[in-house]
Amino acid sequence: MFTKQCVVTLDMEGVLTPEIWIAVAEKTGIPDLRLTTRDIQDYNELMRGRLRILAREHLTLSMIQKVIASLGLLDGAKDFVDKLRDEAQVIILTDTFQEFAYPLIKMMGMPTIFCHNLTVKNDHITSYHLRIQDQKRATVKALHSLNFKVFASGDSFNDTGMLLEADQGAFFRAPANVTAQFPQFPTTQNYDELLRVFHEFQAKL
């Protein structure tokens, strides 16, 4: 049964897919690229650091896309998204980029995704463009203005604005340094647990 007036917003990396930058770090042997929003809360600081590393190491977009093409979804992610889409509208809210995300989103059956874009010259990533600042929180706020209830889930510091703005937020496999700062959100370790928290929220609508 389709649940009216309810939207689920999900982070992508760490919730539905592997962390792209960690995969690139492992493939290239560049440990500095392992840093994510679990480690650095300021996303612009994180991305400026990544761009410096890419320039220093002469890593191209096509090299990164080759790594992404070798990744799959997290085990059970496709079934989880399918179950959610039977019951509510689902939007993927991610701070990755269109040039990275689309092969992975296709594996999920092309749910709606809001993400950012890169500036690329001669196959080299020279800059990035955020759709808007703090897009995850802003999207949930906009959904509220349209009279939707929102259930949100993520795993990193850059998801906490979305979780705080939502009617119900929940962590998915978030590290202890993140959950310790936001103890008000339930922490789930698998999709069955996350679905259970969603259904508890859904029952109250």
Angle between helices 61-69 and 20-28 (to 10 degrees): 110
Residue linked to tokens 């977009």: 61
134 catalytically annotated:
no
pTM of the model: 0.90
Asked whether the predicted pLDDT for residue 89 surpasses 80, the reply is yes
Residue 8 bridge partners (DSSP): 90, 151
With a pLDDT cut of 70, the percent of the chain lying above it is: 98
Architecture of the domain whose range is 6-19+71-200: 3-Layer(aba) Sandwich (3.40)
pLDDT higher than threshold 70 for residue 4: no
Q: Is the pLDDT of residue 185 over 80?
A: yes
The pLDDT tens digits for 140-182 are: 999 999 999 999 999 999 999 999 999 999 999 999 999 999 9
On the question of pLDDT at 2 being above 90, the answer is: no
State yes or no: is 13 an active-site residue: yes
pLDDT value at position 1?
Answer: 46
| 129 in Cβ contact with 139 (< 8 Å) | no
Candidate list 11, 99, 159, 165, residue with the active-site label: 11
Task: Quickly state the pLDDT bin for 64 (edges 50, 70, 90).
Answer: very high
Residue 61's pLDDT is 96
Q: Which of 13, 99, 155, 165 is catalytic?
A: 13
> At 144, is the secondary structure helix, strand, or coil?
helix
